[in-house]
Structure 1
Amino acid sequence: MSEEIKGRISVETENIFPIIKKWLYSEKDIFLRELVSNASDAISKLRKISLNEEFDGGTDYRIDIDFDQTARTLTIEDNGIGMTEEEVRKYINQIAFSGAEEFVKKYQGEGEKPEIIGHFGLGFYSSFMVSAKVRIETKSYRKGSVGVVWESESGTEFTLKTEEKESRGTKIVLFLDPDSGEYLDAWKLKELVRKYCDFLPVSIFVKGEQANKKNPLWSAAPSSLKKEDYEEFYRYLFPFAGEPLFHVHLNVDYPFRLQGILYFPKLRHELDANRMGIKLYCNHVFVSDEAKELVPQFLTVLQGTLDIPDLPLNVSRSYLQNDPLVKKISAHIVKKVADKIQEEFKKDSEAFRKNWDEISLFVKYGLMTDEKFYEAAKDLVFFRSSNDELIRLEDYVLRNQEKNLGKIYYANETELSSVYMDLLKTQGLEAILVDSRIDNHFLQFLESKNPDWKFQRVDSELAEQTLDKDSSPGLADADNKTEADRIQEIFGKAVGREGLEIRSEALKSEEVPAVILLPEHLRRLAEMGQIYGQKSNDLLRNHTLLVNRRSKLVRNLLNLSKGLRPERAEKIAKSVYDMALLGAKLLGEDEVSAMLRRERELLEELSEG
């Protein structure tokens, strides 16, 4: 044993530990990741050396994590390359602490926790986040090496001495501080190993039991894997997520290094689009559950892994968003995802159609937010039609362009049995069905990309497409009033709403007495307002009442107005208007109650004869 040497690290910043712990306390679990990663690196270096050199001690590489609850110590030990006394001075005394000092100078004095993706680079120094004292026992693999022991309580002062050590490698002993007793628990340690170090290429043992999976599927050659392999790995990563639809295996060596597997999960609800499912790794070490800086937002609905060895992890998010490497990686991922969707459609269009409901939100959002994705996948836009068929939008346009006169009719699924849809069907027309909040924005987006496409709701100024060719105002009576004049007069008095436009036409359907027509732009504004919780009825009061002269009810109403019961005709006209408002979903709760009262009074009057 040599003489003990004492020294002081050159760290100028005072009170370094309170500052470090202030920023890292909420993430202090990462100390284990840092120490285990260092141990794995030490073994990787020795594996490379073993290709050219011989050394004692065998090649049964492993990392052992153990603890002593009585002594309150936690140990992380590897049988890797080890360090000489000179290397301890260089890598522990100089590099580790200079990195810590740089961190403190950068963030000292900031009022809130800075928005940085991580604090990786502190490495060994992170052990002081949980420790009152740290000891390193190490021995180099080189023949003739002796053991070295390094100890520090303050982090700025240390002792260094040589000591007998039988085997090569490094053992770090953490004397845990009073606030870190949770790390004296095997379950907790295994959980952290699986989270951070599950795919390191060396066996990691906690209390003698292997705790990591070791072999990440993304490192295997895609040609060597089967569908079952991908599904098994998905269940391992996301045990409660169900089965994925399909996947993309990323494996790039140039011009950047990127590996990973991205899965398409089932997205049956719009809230699913807000979840984050991409796990970010750097050289097989878990970094984050978020990949916002690396992929466009619409891709974050995918699940899986990305392993990017060259990722600069200790820089700001704003830097990452502008980093050329990150932009190249992001563009490559977008292209691979778009290619995969095209591949799935070409491989089995029927199966793709069956999965459309699961991925439609993802595809629509991607088309709207990423130009490159739009260019690659713009021909894969599907809607369910009123004919109960999932149809590609381009095919709908081609099939209906002569009848539609350049319009693409759309409706909510709840309107399938509405009077508007009945009127549409009388012309032999069909509508596409929209069923999510994103669709209102999506249709406007498609119009901006395709000037020849004009989307129109089935209840928006639809009449011109559903009228007889002969839309004359009808014969004049003895008072020289046409049927159109008479209808406008009756309904004007009955409704009593100033500014209401009343039109009378002969619709092809005899069953519909009247419908409400709404300007397309007002309907869209109203629906967008509903997304943000705004009431829309006031906006839609500027509508048109279209009365169908061919309706039997309207013709009876006309006869009543010419006879001895004109007041009854007005009451029936008011009832017809109420039904039209109800069909257009423009009645509020109070208005429905008033309508029901009027209906009851009318029925009572009619029952009296």
Structure 2
Amino acid sequence: MQTGSISIDAQNIMPVIKRWLYSDKDIFLREIVSNAVDAITKLKMVGGAPDDEELRVVVTLDKKNKEIRVWDNGIGMTSEEVDQYINQVAFSSAEEFLKNYTGEDPAGIIGHFGLGFYSAFMASDRVSIDSLSYQEGAVPVRWTSEDGITFEMGEGTRFERGTTITMCLNDEEKEFLEGHVVESVLNKYCGYMSVPIYFEDIEGIKEQIKAEKKRKKEAEKEAKKEKAEGAEQTEAVDLQDDEEPAFVPGPVLINEVNPLWLKAPRDCTDEEYKETYRKLFNTWEDPLFWIHLNVDYPFVLKGILYFPRIKRDFSGQDGQVKLFNRQVFVADNIKEVIPEFLLVLKGVLDCPDLPLNVSRSFLQNDGYVRRLSQHIVKKVADKLNSLFTTERETYQKYWDDIHPFIKYGGISDRKFYDAVKDSLLLKTTKNEYYTLDEYKSRNAGKTEKKVYYTTDTARQAASVAPFEEKGIDVAVMDTLIDVNFMSFLEYAGGADVQFMRVDADVKGLQDDSEEGKDLDLETVQNRVREVLDMPDLTVLLEALSDKDTPAMLTEDEQLRRYKDMSRIYGEAAGAFPERYTLVLNRANKSIQSIAAMEAGEKQQLLIKQVFDLARLSSRPLEGDELKAFMKRSNQLIDLLAQ
């Protein structure tokens, strides 16, 4: 029996690693299982296994003995290799791991890879290795350590090729003695590793056996009852407490060794893509569509990006892009690899050449990562353009669900915008879809390079109607991102248009009518300001094409957008002045009559009513405004009824 100390520094390193990785202590299972998978991969490379043997990893939870065992039938180790790889190389890796990251924020390290075998001591009081090398005549070896500092090593008893790592869990990590916890960790990190991985919960199996026995006894009892009642005899099984049931549960396969994203797109069906999506993200919903990434040059990248239905408000969007390295899960939503605007999507990316033992700050400046990120953006743009060009109707059906993402991407990444700008659509109030160029062409001569839009088709219906009657298309811009996106198109996107809400401008609704042209603007203006007690209100007399509309209330487009953006970002919209323009329709008979009336109560009621009706066309009245409007409406009804 050989005894010894791994290194004079070990007693300082292990406690620090435990503290440093406290929030990610579950990685010890990933590291140990990954080592087992590597052992099987090495065996395949040397051709040391029979063709008919299933090479596999089995993770066993023994709650009674507080143990987790990771068993493999891989290449195994001799005592010399244990001394080299465990006492020297593995410890050196742990030492290097700590040296590299001391001073870094633990959350800033990608995946916490590289700790390897010594991660077992994060959760264990004692760790043992039982191994038998594939080499002919090899002698089994057993290695044991209770602290990761001192060890004992001697001849073991394992009789089959491979290695078993046994971890006796400490009292602080009792959660890992629960079957559902261990299974969840294995699914998280090992669900797509390249070698079959099985999970065996000894206590869980016993519980299943008990449940099966109980079911059998209940069936027997029911059968006897039916027989006693003269019913047709039902076959029953007389199962004793010490008998095993016909069904004995065993280890459960955890992973899928050949995930869909590693296959060629031509070999995948739509149903397989959907099933993979549902499994990856534990959902019953189907994605809208997807992009299968299968790149071998200038870098290796495999993956699938799914387009889910994007939330309209675009806040709190729970997208999730899982990053893998050679089928080993690394992390979710690494912004240094995947552009932030793509994180509203869902999917998986497997990047075997991605540097792992690095900080996030390193990734931000890494040329490989930058090219990888740009390539992903290009592939997303290519997919959108392809759908627009070859499946326009399908693309339009998707538009309501994906346009917030595309607009956000355009604002965030100029290259992405330049790539997809010709595939951007405007949805109109008539549920028609046009590109910006198509909109300008359809409305040429009517809008003077303006795009008229509504943010609420129901509340602004009265303001929309006159534009539709004149044959002007009104775009629907009703999501939070639209406020920023319109400004982006006007000032940075080179669109050569101005967006104007339907209640911000009446130029497109003016008429050449001479009616009411004799009304004196100054007299009307002064009287309206006096009645409304709004001395700074701008009042105009214009002939509108819709003679039935007495007035429209407009608000400066840019000022209103500033207020909208302030509300979006949680700032006080009240910091901006109220700056409205009341446009009285001189071609309307009611306005002509009100202007000709003598000053008095009736004229006051009508002026206030016209103003509130104009306000109602763009927003609801609330509180005291609504009370006053209702009271005034009743007064006017009384006047008309007299």
Q: Same fold (TM over 0.5)?
A: yes
Could you tell me which of 630, 639, 642 is aligned with 1:596? 630
Cα distance change on mapping 1:538 and 1:206 into 2, 3 Å = closer
Match of 1:37 in 2: 34
Q: Compared with structure 1, are the counterparts of its residues 456 and 388 closer, same or farther at alpha carbon in structure 2 (3 Å cutoff)? A: same
- Encode CA deviations 1:177-233: one digit per residue, 9 max, x unaligned: 112333334443333222211222222222242222222111112221222221222
The 8 Å contact of residues 74 and 176 in structure 1, kept in 2 or not, is answered as yes
Contact 1:267 1:273 in 2 (8 A): no
Partner of 1:221: 264
Evaluate the alpha carbon distance shift between residue 504 and residue 55 of structure 1 in structure 2; reply closer, same or farther with a 3 A threshold. Answer: closer
Give the whole-Å Cα distance in 1 for the aligned partners of 2:43 and 2:473.
70
Q: Is 1:94 paired with 2:108?
A: no
Matched, 1:205 2:198: yes
State the AA in 1 paired with 2:21.
Answer: L
CA contact (8 A) 2:287 2:306 kept: yes
- The more displaced of 506-515 and 590-599 is 590-599
8 Å CA contact 1:419–1:512 kept in 2: the answer is no
Q: Deviations over 1:209-267 (max 9, x none)?
A: 22222221111122212222212222221231511111111112222121111111122
Q: Which residue of 2 aligns with 1:569?
A: 603
CA distance in 2, matches of 1:276, 1:60: 37
Letter in 2 for 1:85: S
Amino acid at match of 1:393: L
1:493-572 aligned at under 5 Å gives the runs 493-534=530-571, 536=573, 539=576, 541-561=578-598, 566-572=600-606
Aligned to 1:382: 425
Is 1:431 paired with 2:474? yes
Distance 2:431 2:67 in 1: 67
1:456 pairs with 2:504: no
SS of residue paired to 1:81: coil
Tell me if structure 2 keeps the 8 A contact 1:557–1:573: yes
Helix, strand or coil: the match of 2:163?
strand
Structure 1 residues 68 and 456, CA gap change in structure 2 (3 angstroms): closer
Alignment partner of 1:249 out of 265, 282, 292 = 292
CA contact (8 A) 1:81 1:168 kept: yes
Superposed counterparts of 1:333-412, under 5 Å: 333-412=376-455
> Residue 168 in 1 paired to residue 161 in 2?
yes
Q: Go from structure 1 to structure 2 and tell me whether the alpha carbon gap of 1:187 and 1:488 turns closer, same or farther (over 3 Å shift).
A: closer
Alignment match of 1:76 (pick from 67, 70, 81): 70
Show CA shifts across 1:39-64 (max 9, x none): 011101111111xxx66796321112
Match of 2:216 in 1: none
Distance in 1, Cα, partners of 2:571 & 2:625? 18
Partner Cα separation in structure 1 for residue 102 and residue 375 of structure 2: 38
Is the partner of 1:261 in helix, strand or coil? strand
Task: Give the match for residue 16 of structure 1.
Answer: 13
Q: In 2, Cα distance between the equivalents of 1:332 and 1:417? A: 42
> TM-score, length-normalised on structure 2?
0.87
| Equivalences, count | 591
Quick one: structure 1 residues 130 and 454, their matched pair in 2 at CA, closer, same or farther if it must change by over 3 Å? same
Match of 1:467 in 2: 510
Q: What amino acid does structure 1 have at the position aligned with 2:133?
A: S
Q: Is the 8 A contact 2:97 2:114 kept in 1?
A: no
Segments of 5+ residues of structure 2 without an aligned counterpart are: 201-249
Match of 1:191 in 2: 184
- Give the aligned partner of residue 618 of structure 2: 584
Q: What is the aligned-residue identity percentage?
A: 41
Amino acid at match of 2:18: K
CA contact (8 A) 2:314 2:481 kept: no
Summarize the alignment of residues 473-492 of structure 1 with structure 2, pairs less than 5 Å apart: 474-475=517-518, 482-492=519-529
Contact 1:148 1:161 in 2 (8 A): yes
CA contact (8 A) 1:272 1:301 kept: no
Q: Determine if contact 1:186/1:206 at 8 Å carries over to the other structure.
A: no
Kept in 2, the 8 Å contact 1:137–1:171? The answer is: yes
Asked whether the 8 Å contact 1:279–1:286 carries over to 2, the reply is yes
* Partner in structure 1 of residue 58 of structure 2: 64
Quote the RMSD (CA, aligned, Å): 2.4
- Aligned residue for 1:522, secondary structure, equals helix
C-alpha spacing 1:48/1:553, structure 2 compared with 1 (3 Å): same
Match of 2:225 in 1: none
Is 1:269 the equivalent of 2:262? no
Change (3 A) 1:397 1:574: same
Out of 144, 154, 165, the residue aligned to residue 151 of structure 1 is 144
* 78-87 or 40-49: bigger deviation: 78-87
Distance 2:76 2:638 in 1: 98
Among candidates 343, 352, 357, match of residue 300 of structure 1: 343
Residues 357-380 of structure 1 show CA distances to partners (whole Å, capped at 9, x for unaligned) of: 111111111111112211221111
Change (3 A) 1:109 1:420: closer
Once the two structures are TM-superposed, the CA of residue 175 in structure 1 deviates from its matched residue by 1.5
CA shift in 2, pair 1:511/1:155, >3 Å: same
Cα offset, 1:426, TM superposition: 4.2
Alpha-carbon offset, residue 454 of structure 1: 1.1
Paired AA for residue 202 in structure 1? V
For the 8 Å contact 1:518–1:540, the answer to whether it is kept is no
| 8 Å contact kept, 1:257–1:308 | yes
Cα pair 1:139 1:169 within 8 Å, conserved: yes
